[in-house]
Structure 1
């Protein structure tokens, strides 16, 4: 592909996929690959899902794009459905295009309401497509929780902790990514997050749950923050909510929505609240509910986690972390990781290569048979390593 500029930092391994279905993609020679990464963690219901495709086709025949002075009823139907799913009854939604955008508008609404200027997140968070979205300027407080991992008192964590005492009082919002940690799948302690949220709230700040990666069933619950004792003011949703279609949503709880009514916030974007994206969101939520995929993601995740744990030998595979169908396998070094990654692709299995880790985020529809097949392939790839130095 001479005229396409690839700048993701990842090597293009299979340049011409011509067919897809469920967990599988097919190249021009007919070779199949099990996509254990769900594209870029987006195809939560599998590639080429016929029910979602049908919804898209129906909406195309009605209205795909809306102007500033006209819309379509699917916006209200979809907004009510996802707000109720999130427990934000009587809140409001803004439909956008990317997760980065949903996080950005949530952050800006929080600043608008609190009239504070300093944002806070954990040091290993990923909040947007541009690295400049989080910098070390005076407008950001990055809370380093590395010490908390080995803290013997973490379960009894209270606000006297030195890490917590360093939180500035002028925080506008705490943006919490509940477990992805820039793709390395690390789960901050529950007590730590609860205390951070209390401190920020007591100082007049807002809580934003970044659910772009961890939401829509990925962790075995509708949203990753539901594993923690917090109630966010805003939720940024993306990736899996579109099943490959580029749509995202900023969810606003009832209280913050009323504040915005009293203190209007202005934001314009060409594809804000487009009917086509809203129709996809509506279809994805209905599909997940009808197929009971949240509980399936939890049970499938436990099975996959258990089978991956059985491969830990401390020589090649050193650790497995996961929650639901969001897992990572730590490898001894980057060279071995690359070897396993390439061997899996040769055998028709796609995972994420994160340097010294393999990231695994299969579609929520994965079956036990497919889990077994993947584990067998990983075991075979692992057995090809002759020498560990």
Structure 2
């Protein structure tokens, strides 16, 4: 049952009901279609026993996120990746709940890391999350070559480190903007998504050297940090409900630069647009790269941006705020989102690096 309905602005105290988002990347969906992908993932996660058929998480529409984020992936690979995401995206909430007992959280994350590294080892009977993750990794192993799996395991570890990093900053009374920017890159789990795009085709996978070179890494991060900001804006009600309101881009800018929350939101949106302008420049550089796999990666990776906009603005993951009872929640009215081809708050010709050393180096790889 619901205990009421709120707008996103009412739930957060921020003017978020009408979002004008600079995102000139058109939304594309995998040929399987988002509903079919979602049905594949929900059936799989029920078959392995992680969730019952009436679980709320089965209505969070991960098929839209993955189908729009990787619309060019081979069908067998995106199906296996759907299994992974249905095992891991809900886990993100579970592991944050464990942070109230730190040793349990740390041990649990270590067990999950072992499940990725040793998917064929004996399962842990009292850990359904590790069991589901093992099953998902086996699905990926069936369709992904060894080099792709090695990159998957490495990037998955970055996500797990981000979970622990966020926990540490939650205990910090005043985390800095630099600490937030460094942590957010790992916590969002986006490096796994980037690795999947690099390896989602049957031919011409990127080499590790290409994936990690500074220009490609700057481009990758300039795609996903704006996505993290969008997630911060739309998930603000959920984070407030979970007691994490002090650890998002708006609250940290407000505290560190002595801004009102509305001023901080405008500054965060301007930084989002600034990053998007950089990303588009870096993409243009890479689209003409003589390495075919790198140019294809540059063409496909930004699809995660419209995927993030459309999914976060419509998923019940962010629009249903749970209370004490799992059947008792407040519904958030989806924000009205307008996608713009040009920025509102930042001059696209202004390529001055921001005064944040943690990301300013991305501008150093721009061609003159």
Q: TM-score, normalised by structure 2?
A: 0.29
Q: Which has the higher contact order (CA 8 A, sep 6+)?
A: 2
User: Rg: which structure is higher?
Assistant: 1
TM-score by length of 1: 0.27
Q: By percentage of residues, which structure has more helix?
A: 2
Structure with the higher strand share, 1 or 2: 1
